[in-house]
Amino acid sequence: MLIVLKEKNHTALINEISDLLEKKYGCQSHVIGQNRRVIAVTGETAGIEIGLIESIAGVKSVDRVDRPYKLASREQKDRTQVKISRDCVIGDPASVVMIAGPCSIDSEEQLMETAAMAKKKGVKILRGGAYKPRTGPYAFQGHGEKALKMMKKAGEKYGMATISEIMKADDIGIFEENVDILHIGARNMQNYDLLKAAAKSKKPVMLKRGLAATLEEWLLAAEYILAGGNPNVMLCERGIRTFEREVRFTLCLGSIPALRELTHLPIIVDPSHAMGKTRWVKDVALGGVAVGADGLIIEIHPRPSESMCDSAQLLDEEHWNDCYDSVAKVAEAVGKKVC
Ligand code: PEP
Ligand code: MN
């Protein structure tokens, strides 16, 4: 971190700042330059409150230089590859992993039928919501633990790994018993108790981008999971809230090349929740692959109108097959295969 002072040679101010940084944050100050106007700060600088330093009279500017996340940073390593099963690795530069399944698990029959639809195309990871974060309290909230058990059964029956959304830290045990990947949804991206619980788990975690989260806030949320001991974190871009109302959310495909520079973590794109309409899902899925996503997560259903949740964005078998085949072509064009 670099602190630039307004005046040169201001020894009293230099001492005041050095003392504060030493006592409060355990950091060391080094005055640099002939004019003695710049303080270089070393040590564990991530915890320093920039606003506090900037508010000291006589301070001109503060530049963090290093990013506030460390373990999530690309400086740590080039790429994280998360091994899901023998033939499925998320973050492998040669593949795009397709995750598909219903929005919510409505019944065992519906889940099995949807899993069969995904499996027919060779999908290796089945999604399905047991605990649904709904905007209103009267909407279907999910079948909970019962549905997680159905997920386990479907995964075993079709030989697929499974992913489901966890909403509270206390549920870690039942998720670990029943699913292979923990999904932390957009609304819980900053649920720090949940992030800390996921950090203690052996299961990989897919962390969705919060509805109004910057890339830095998102990576800091990922940092919680990494810092707590779980290295298998994947990011999922699912769109953010903007002034636009024609699409459900504003999918930030530009975040993918930017994240590639900032982090080594794999990036998955969710075109379903971003678009909110079946007929728009495919095109945006293709865009995700074209800009370099490591995976896609797509909601499918044999009869979308029967779904308890998100009917308007689900792909029926015809749309799904078309989407999958088109994704395979774009993947091939960018030198990858769909897995
Ligand atoms: C979901 O994937 O089921 C979901 C609710 O997504 P999000 O958290 O992105 O809204
Ligand atoms: Mn949904």
Atom number, ligand 1, closest to the C-alpha of residue 185? 8
**Does residue 73 lie within any of the structural domains?**
no
**Does residue 274 lie within any of the structural domains?**
yes
Q: Are residues 157 and 303 in the same domain?
A: yes
CA of 310 relative to ligand 1 center, distance in Å: 10
CA of 33 relative to ligand 1 center, distance in Å: 51
Q: At 43, which CATH number?
A: 3.30.70
Query: Which residue shows structure tokens 């999910």?
Result: 142
Question: Is 185 close to ligand 1, i.e. is its CB under 6 Å away?
Answer: yes
Question: Is 271 close to ligand 1, i.e. is its CB under 6 Å away?
Answer: no
**Does residue 72 lie within any of the structural domains?**
no
**Does residue 213 lie within any of the structural domains?**
yes
Q: What is the pLDDT of residue 67?
A: 87
Query: Which residue shows structure tokens 């270089």?
Result: 40
Measured by CA distance, the residue closest to atom 9 of ligand 1 is 186
Q: What is the pLDDT of residue 222?
A: 98
Tell me: the pLDDT tens digits for 181-213?
A: 999 999 999 999 999 999 999 999 999 999 999
Pocket test for ligand 1, best of 134, 141, 238 (most atoms within 8 A of CB): 238
Q: Are residues 184 and 275 in the same domain?
A: yes
Q: What is the pLDDT of residue 207?
A: 99
30-39, 151-160, 221-230, 290-299: least confidently modelled range: 30-39
CA of 133 relative to ligand 1 center, distance in Å: 8
Percent of the chain whose predicted confidence (pLDDT) is above 90: 97
Pocket test for ligand 1, best of 126, 134, 141, 208 (most atoms within 8 A of CB): 208
Q: Are residues 59 and 175 in the same domain?
A: no
Q: At 112, which CATH number?
A: 3.20.20.70
Per-residue tokens: 5? 């002072």
pTM score of the predicted model: 0.94
Q: Are residues 266 and 193 in the same domain?
A: yes
Q: What is the pLDDT of residue 303?
A: 98
Task: Return the closest-CA partner of residue 67 out of 269, 291, 266, 261.
Answer: 261
Tell me: the pLDDT tens digits for 29-83?
A: 999 988 999 999 999 898 999 999 999 999 999 999 888 899 999 999 999 999 9
Q: Are residues 87 and 27 in the same domain?
A: no
Q: Are residues 52 and 136 in the same domain?
A: no
SS3 84: strand
Percent of the chain whose predicted confidence (pLDDT) is above 70: 100
Q: Are residues 99 and 41 in the same domain?
A: no
Cα–Cα–Cα angle for 202, 205, 207, rounded to 5 degrees:
155
CA of 71 relative to ligand 2 center, distance in Å: 30
* Host domain of residue 9: 2-63
Tell me: the pLDDT tens digits for 164-185?
A: 999 999 999 999 999 999 999 9
Q: Are residues 150 and 259 in the same domain?
A: yes
44-48, 253-257, 301-305: least confidently modelled range: 44-48
Q: In the predicted model, what is the mean pLDDT of residues 124-130?
A: 98
Question: Is 310 close to ligand 1, i.e. is its CB under 6 Å away?
Answer: no
Atom number, ligand 1, closest to the C-alpha of residue 239? 9
CA of 313 relative to ligand 2 center, distance in Å: 8
Long-range Cβ pairs for the range 251-258 (8 Å, 24+): 251/275, 251/284, 252/209, 253/284, 253/287, 253/288, 253/291, 254/291, 255/209, 255/215, 256/288, 256/291, 256/292, 256/293, 257/291, 257/292, 258/215
**Does residue 71 lie within any of the structural domains?**
no
Q: In the predicted model, what is the mean pLDDT of residues 264-274?
A: 98
Of the listed ligands, the closest to the CA of 206 is 1
CA 79 vs. chain centroid, Å, equals 15
**Does residue 74 lie within any of the structural domains?**
no
**Does residue 253 lie within any of the structural domains?**
yes
- Total domains, the chain: 2
Q: Are residues 52 and 92 in the same domain?
A: no
